[in-house]
Amino acid sequence: MRAIDRWVGIPLCFLLTLLQLFTSRRGEGGKPRRILFLELSEMGSTILADPAMRKARQVFEAELFFVIFKRNAASLDFLRTVPEENVYTIREDSLLTLAADTLGFLAWCRRRRIDTVVDLELFSRFTALLTGMSGAANRVGFYRFHNEGLYRGELLTHRVAYNPHIHIAKNFVALINALACPVVETPYSKTFIPDEEITIPRIIAGERDSERMRATVREAFPAYDPDQHRIVLFNPNASELLPQRRWPQSHFVALANQVLTHWQDVVILITGAPDEDFQAEKLKSRTDHPRMVNFAGKVRLSELPTLYELASLMVTNDSGPGHFASVTDMPTIVLFGPETPALYAPLGNTEAITAHLACSPCVSASNHRKTACRDPLCMQAIPPERVFDSIRAVLDDGQLLQLG
């Protein structure tokens, strides 16, 4: 995907820029009414972008649309800020389906009379091309200016300076502020964004959903009694796009042994997608304890908030589940290494733990999230004892983390 983005994306962005120089009519954007958000590859980013989407709907009284890779579309089901019928998915399983769905996107935009596109991606040339070809009069996204960044052509009507020193959710809100600005700015967006603007609404599960989830837990651990057991979730997985984000399995094993020895009422559920069952089973077998349960593939993505409501705590790598948990009040401990929690910490009841090595973080928007590291000591250097102390603060003292 990176190779295509570079070798195909650069010349196409250049050619589309030349075409728009001769065909675009500036100054006719008007007030946004039908706003399309583009975020393809990161499931957690759909949660982080929610404050920006809700602000766009409120400020402009606009109808919202979203484009995302098909395999990530379920992440939009958590908050349902965008109606399902307004979501367009792109398959990326082959070049043929990618090309077909891209062409379909062009027709889809025009049928829905999209007048504004908000490109949430950080310097992806593919989304820059989708933005430029959408036919929308207002096109807002991140622009490199004099900073390090990737060439994306000159396809934006509102060029926003990506700020690597504030949380990504605030950067997303800055895109909406640019659209609302009454004057032309270079760069957009010269606004202050308070912390209150990046809150996530909470999801409360119904009793019927909760009882179904308790039954699902009993299928995996027949002895489960909600009056006698507390659930701790382990999410040892991370996207294949950046496997360096994974905490070593041996550390999860050591932490599990500490937790299960210290608390006799704790049941650890190892969560994950169906295709992560093998690794979850391997972690379970290495721990070899009856209260260590392989729960990978047992629940659908849309059911995770209900599971999170039942759980007392989750320990997770820096990946989607940490952000999904933001829609509940469950305390979540997120382990960071190649990326920084200053920009990407979940917006919920979260404590972010990092080893603060001199080389960390090593991936960013400006290097296309690429790293030369093949031995992520930044993750290995987070000791299980450090994580155990945070777990004990929650399970013994009932502390809410609120450090994300």
Instruction: Give the span between the Cα atoms of 143 and 152, in whole angstroms.
Output: 8
- State both tokens at 354: 């990092």
Residues 213 and 336 in one domain: yes
- Residue 263's alpha-carbon distances to 231, 272, 400, in angstroms, are 11, 24, 19
- Clarify whether residues 185 and 316 are in a common domain: no
Cβ–Cβ < 8 Å for 23, 303: no
Say whether both 109 and 71 belong to one domain.
yes
Q: Do both 255 and 159 map to the same domain?
A: no
Alpha-carbon torsion angle 34, 35, 39, 43, nearest 10? -80
The total number of structural domains that make up the chain: 2
Whether residue 327 sits in one domain with residue 225: yes
Residue 401 lies in a domain: no
Q: Quick one: pLDDT at residue 28?
A: 54
Residues 234 and 188 in one domain: no
**So what's the pLDDT on residue 404?**
38
Asked whether the CA dihedral 372, 376, 379, 383 is positive or negative, the reply is: negative
**Four-residue CA torsion sign, 337, 339, 342, 347:** negative
Question: What confidence tens digit (pLDDT) does each residue in 287-296 have?
Answer: 999 999 999 9
Do 50 and 192 fall within a single domain? yes
What confidence tier does 403 reach under pLDDT thresholds 50, 70, 90? very low
Which two three-digit tokens encode residue 210? 């909760």
pTM for the whole structure: 0.93
End-to-end CA, the chain:
31
Q: Which amino acid is at 171?
A: N
Which pLDDT belongs to residue 400?
53
pLDDT at 401 over 60: no
Of 198, 220, 254, which residue sits at a domain end? 198
Q: Are residues 28 and 172 in the same domain?
A: yes
Domain that holds residue 383: 207-395
Phi, psi torsion values for 136, nearest 5 degrees: -75, 145
In angstroms, what CA-CA distances link 86 with 17, 305, 363?
A: 28, 23, 33
Asked if residue 22 belongs to a domain, the reply is yes
402 falls within a domain: no
Cα(132)–Cα(154) distance, rounded to whole angstroms?
9
Is residue 191 over pLDDT 50? Answer: yes
Which residue has 């020895």 as its token pair?
261
d(CA 188, CA 16): 23
24: burial class by Cβ within 10 Å (0-12, 13-18, 19+)?
middle
**What's 4's DSSP letter?**
H
- Residue 372: how many other CB atoms lie within 10 Å: 6
259 & 148 share domain: no
Of 152, 145, 87, give the one whose Cα is nearest residue 122.
152
Mean of the per-residue pLDDT values of the chain: 93
Q: With bands split at pLDDT 50, 70 and 90, how would you rate the model's confidence at 3?
A: confident
Task: Please report whether residue 69 resides in a domain.
Answer: yes
Q: Which of 198, 233, 257 is the last residue of a domain?
A: 198
- DSSP strand E in 156-229: where? 158-161
- Does one domain contain both 284 and 187? no
pLDDT of residue 357 exceeding 80: yes
Are 338 and 357 found together in one domain?
Answer: yes
Give the pLDDT of residue 377: 96
Sheet with strand 87-90: strands edge to edge = 87-90, 63-69, 34-38, 116-119, 138-143, 158-161
Lowest mean pLDDT among 169-183, 235-249, 269-283, 382-396: 235-249
CATH number at residue 98: 3.40.50.2000
Alpha helices in 35-167 (DSSP H): 43-48, 50-60, 95-111, 125-133
Domain membership flag for residue 403: no
pLDDT at 14: 93
Q: Is residue 404 situated within a structural domain?
A: no
Q: Are 160 and 269 found together in one domain?
A: no
Alpha-carbon distances, residue 259 vs 73, 141, 291, 350 (angstroms) = 35, 45, 10, 19
Q: Residue 252 domain-assigned?
A: yes
Residue 99: closest CA among 12, 219, 24: 12
Q: Choose the final residue of a domain: 160, 181, 198.
A: 198
Rounded-to-integer distance, Cα 320 and Cα 261, Å: 29
